[in-house]
């Protein structure tokens, strides 16, 4: 009786318990480390806030950070949406292979892709003159599009492929043109996935590090690269912490706005597993075929450069660089192949953590009260928008004493990688859970099914494809994660593939660069195999 009088009904207690785990995980491994770093950096150097505000160069970096991220996001949508439409609506041989190939650029280490773009500009003669690719704004935006096409194709295309065709067919029957049907019905139904995908693309472009650092050089700076320069090059942690606060504030505002907009959207839609269909009119089949081929061709140019450089030797062509990966160069702590095994192990553990807590958080976001739902929705997207320097150093200085000393433990690496992978799980699962017809849950409840049984027998089977897809993305992200791992992976024997590639690229010599390219190609192949296996687990497992 007292529980009901105080408002603590069994339903509310269940919702509170559902949200407790995700909130605790986020608080311990994200909020606590980031808050610790920011507090230590600002408490003794309050004058740094005034210095940052009055700095014209930092204001310029903030403005460039904002507008280049916006342009990168819009251009990614323009280029990726045609391919998303094809994979969502057309069933064709090699569809899963296309999805895997599109995802490969997304998981490549940024230092490798930036180097490939520089090499491409050298080969095409666009490294000088008014159309210079290297160290230019255009190169930065194109590189961001190269990375993020997969986010739009798999997130929007995956959600689109599960929508029933009923509404569109009804509109066409009533005489609505194909273009108006798309704008008035299809786009409206795609809004949850569009907002989820564009928010991720914008945050990745907003916090881009390796691409800006290499392609932008000293001319183009963002908040992220300024954090790195002040923290590493100048050891000015106060200014770096203030910049981290600025970055976090902007990210929180953007994520909160995105969450508010998505909360106003309809939460139910009819789902179907048979939307992709064979192209009926063979005379116009060149449209989807051409879309696939053109998009893959554009994405494959930098990848082709990597493969070409991995096979080029001093005497011509061969596999010398690949054979040398079994040996440990003097400037690496492990052999490149051992680094690959480390990356696979860490990615497996990180994926398990991301799927567990991401799936748990998705249920909490769907079933909890509006306030808790928004808190989790915003909170679990913040690691994507947080500086790698802030996240890595924060964890390093927080878990450094007593029983929470994780600096020398291997688990610290997959924990950091899981934080970055969880948003992909929630962004894949939440729209699907919200699209489930509530009548299914009501019917099960009327027959005596408990909330736990409803989630197990209704929600989980429907969301299984999204969990698989989110887990595949988390695995791919973990394989290619470089920024935060470079700060927490301090043990020599725990070197990962991206760290090994970066170390190889930092050394002079064509043969060493060839080894870096060979290791990059192996990473691409492993990623493609994994993603293809994930897609084969369920024919509709696309995001």
pLDDT per residue as tens digits for the range 202-260: 888 888 877 887 777 667 788 888 887 777 677 777 777 778 777 777 777 777 766 66
414 pLDDT above the threshold of 60: yes
490 pLDDT above the threshold of 60: yes
Give the lowest-confidence range in 35-44, 301-310, 393-402: 35-44
Give the lowest-confidence range in 148-152, 165-169, 209-213, 390-394: 165-169
Cβ atoms of residues 345 and 489 within 8 Å: no
Q: What is the pLDDT of residue 353?
A: 94
Q: What is the pLDDT of residue 285?
A: 64
pLDDT per residue as tens digits for the range 344-391: 999 999 999 999 998 888 888 887 777 777 788 778 877 876 777 778
127 pLDDT above the threshold of 60: no
Mean pLDDT on 288-315 = 81
pLDDT per residue as tens digits for the range 416-454: 889 888 888 887 888 788 777 677 766 777 776 666 676
Output the CA angle 403-408-412, nearest 5 degrees.
80
Task: Taking the CA atoms of 482, 484, 487 and 491 in sequence, report the sign of the dihedral they define.
Answer: negative
pLDDT per residue as tens digits for the range 516-526: 888 888 887 88
Residue 436 and residue 79: Cα distance in Å, rounded? 30
pLDDT per residue as tens digits for the range 44-100: 566 667 777 777 778 888 888 888 999 999 999 999 988 888 887 777 777 777 877
Spatial CA neighbour of 451 closest among 23, 14, 3, 9? 14
Q: What is the pLDDT of residue 76?
A: 93
Task: Taking the CA atoms of 264, 268, 273 and 279 in sequence, report the sign of the dihedral they define.
Answer: negative
Residue 95 and residue 87: Cα distance in Å, rounded? 7
pTM, two decimals, is 0.74
Q: Which helix (H) or strand (E) holds 520?
A: helix 510-537
Terminus-to-terminus CA distance in the chain, angstroms?
A: 47
Q: What is the pLDDT of residue 119?
A: 67
Residue 393 and residue 16: Cα distance in Å, rounded? 32
Residue 305 and residue 115: Cα distance in Å, rounded? 10
Mean pLDDT, the chain, rounded, equals 77
Residue 241 and residue 486: Cα distance in Å, rounded? 18
Rounded to the nearest 10 degrees, the angle between the axes of helix 286-311 and helix 56-89 is 120
pLDDT per residue as tens digits for the range 323-350: 888 888 888 888 888 888 999 999 999 9
Q: What is the pLDDT of residue 42?
A: 67
Domains of the chain: 12-537 (1.10.3720.10)
Residue 451 and residue 430: Cα distance in Å, rounded? 17
């Amino acid at each position: 009786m007292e529980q009901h009088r105080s408002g603590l009904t069994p339903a509310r207690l269940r919702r509170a318990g559902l949200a407790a785990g995700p909130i605790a995980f986020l608080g311990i491994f994200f909020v606590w480390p980031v808050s610790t770093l920011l507090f230590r950096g600002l408490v003794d150097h309050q004058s740094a806030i005034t210095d940052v505000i009055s700095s014209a160069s930092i204001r310029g970096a903030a403005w460039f950070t904002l507008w280049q991220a916006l342009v990168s996001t819009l251009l990614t949508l323009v280029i990726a949406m045609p391919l998303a439409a094809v994979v969502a609506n057309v069933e064709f041989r090699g569809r899963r292979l296309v999805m895997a190939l599109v995802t490969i650029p997304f998981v490549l280490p940024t230092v490798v892709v930036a180097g490939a773009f520089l090499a491409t500009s050298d080969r095409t003669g666009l490294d000088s003159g008014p159309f210079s690719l290297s160290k230019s704004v255009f190169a930065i935006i194109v590189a961001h599009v190269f990375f993020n096409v997969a986010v739009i194709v798999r997130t929007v295309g995956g959600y689109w492929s599960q929508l029933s065709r009923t509404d569109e067919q009804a509109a066409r029957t009533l005489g609505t043109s194909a273009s108006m049907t798309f704008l008035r019905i299809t786009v409206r139904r795609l809004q949850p996935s569009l907002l989820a995908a564009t928010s991720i693309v914008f945050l990745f472009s907003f916090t881009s590090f390796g691409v800006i650092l290499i392609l932008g050089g000293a001319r183009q700076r963002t908040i992220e690269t300024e954090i790195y320069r002040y923290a590493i090059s100048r050891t000015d942690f106060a200014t770096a912490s203030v910049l981290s606060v600025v970055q976090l504030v902007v990210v929180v505002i953007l994520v909160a706005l995105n969450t508010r907009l998505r909360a106003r959207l309809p939460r139910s839609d009819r789902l179907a597993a048979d939307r992709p269909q064979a192209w009926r009119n063979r005379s116009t089949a060149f449209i989807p075929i051409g879309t696939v081929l053109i998009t893959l061709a554009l994405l494959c140019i930098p990848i082709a450069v990597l493969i070409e450089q991995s096979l080029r030797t001093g005497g011509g062509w061969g596999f010398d660089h690949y054979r040398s990966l079994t040996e440990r160069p003097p400037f690496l702590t492990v052999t490149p192949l051992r680094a690959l095994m480390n990356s696979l192990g860490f990615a497996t553990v990180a994926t398990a953590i991301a799927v567990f807590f991401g799936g748990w958080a998705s249920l909490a976001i769907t079933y909890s009260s509006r306030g808790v739902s928004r808190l989790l929705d915003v909170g679990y997207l913040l690691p994507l928008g947080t500086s790698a320097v802030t996240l890595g150093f924060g964890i390093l200085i927080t878990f450094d004493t007593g029983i929470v000393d994780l600096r020398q433990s291997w688990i610290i690496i997959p924990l950091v990688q899981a934080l970055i992978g969880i948003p992909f799980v929630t962004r894949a699962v939440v729209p699907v859970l919200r699209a489930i017809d509530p009548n299914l849950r009501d019917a099960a409840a009327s027959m005596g099914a408990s909330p736990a049984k409803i989630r197990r027998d209704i929600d989980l089977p429907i969301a299984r494809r999204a969990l698989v897809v989110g887990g595949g993305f988390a695995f791919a992200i973990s394989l290619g994660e470089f920024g935060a791992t470079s700060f927490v992976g301090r043990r020599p024997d725990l070197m990962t593939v991206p760290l090994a590639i970066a170390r190889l690229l930092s050394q002079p010599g064509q043969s060493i660069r060839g080894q870096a390219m060979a290791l990059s190609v192996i990473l691409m192949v492993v990623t493609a195999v994994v993603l293809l296996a994930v897609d084969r687990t369920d024919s509709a497992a696309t995001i």
